[in-house]
Amino acid sequence: MAQKEATVAELTKHFEDSTAVLLTEYRGLTVAELKELRSAIRQDAEYAVVKNTLSKIAANNAGITALDEDLVGPSAIAFVHGDPVAVAKGLRAFAKAHPLLVIKGGYFDGSPLSAEEVGKLADLESREVLLAKLAGAMKASMTKAAFVFNALPSKAVRTVDALREKQESAA
């Protein structure tokens, strides 16, 4: 009983500390394949095979009740501590190579995710790509602003020159 309480406490901490939680079914996968999956997503997540009852209790303790229906059968959870998009991409890629891995759903940013929504999350570009695009857009905006600011004084100088030439020709 004490061991179960410790497991629930540990799982609760994982649920609370994770930026996202992705739930999978691993029925039929070998230990070597599970190890390969863990290695593939290790940078951004911790992948753990869990007992459904203890996971439900831990999730409920962390304020997550949306996973209760999906916690059936052999379940494993990816507790995401890094980029959720990268983990979703890793799980989807692994599931394509190993059809026995089934993505059942998840929980992200205070909302439950269906398996289809996890797929949509995997379709997003990674955080680094989005930041690079944002930086490029900001740089382009700054370049345009610099051009406008440089154009204003030069236009003013041309206008003053035109007025001076007009006055000289009138005189």
Cα distance between residue 112 and residue 102, in whole Å: 17
Nearest to 146 by CA among 154, 134, 135, 157: 154
pTM of the model: 0.69
Q: Cα 170 from chain centroid?
A: 69
Q: Confidence band (pLDDT; 50, 70, 90) for 72?
A: confident
Q: Confidence band (pLDDT; 50, 70, 90) for 67?
A: confident
Query: What pLDDT does 79 receive?
Result: 93
Q: Do residues 78 and 21 make contact, with C-beta atoms less than 8 angstroms apart?
A: yes
Calculate the alpha carbon distances from 83 to 71, 87, 142, 171 in Å.
23, 7, 29, 73
Query: Two tokens at 135?
Result: 């930086």
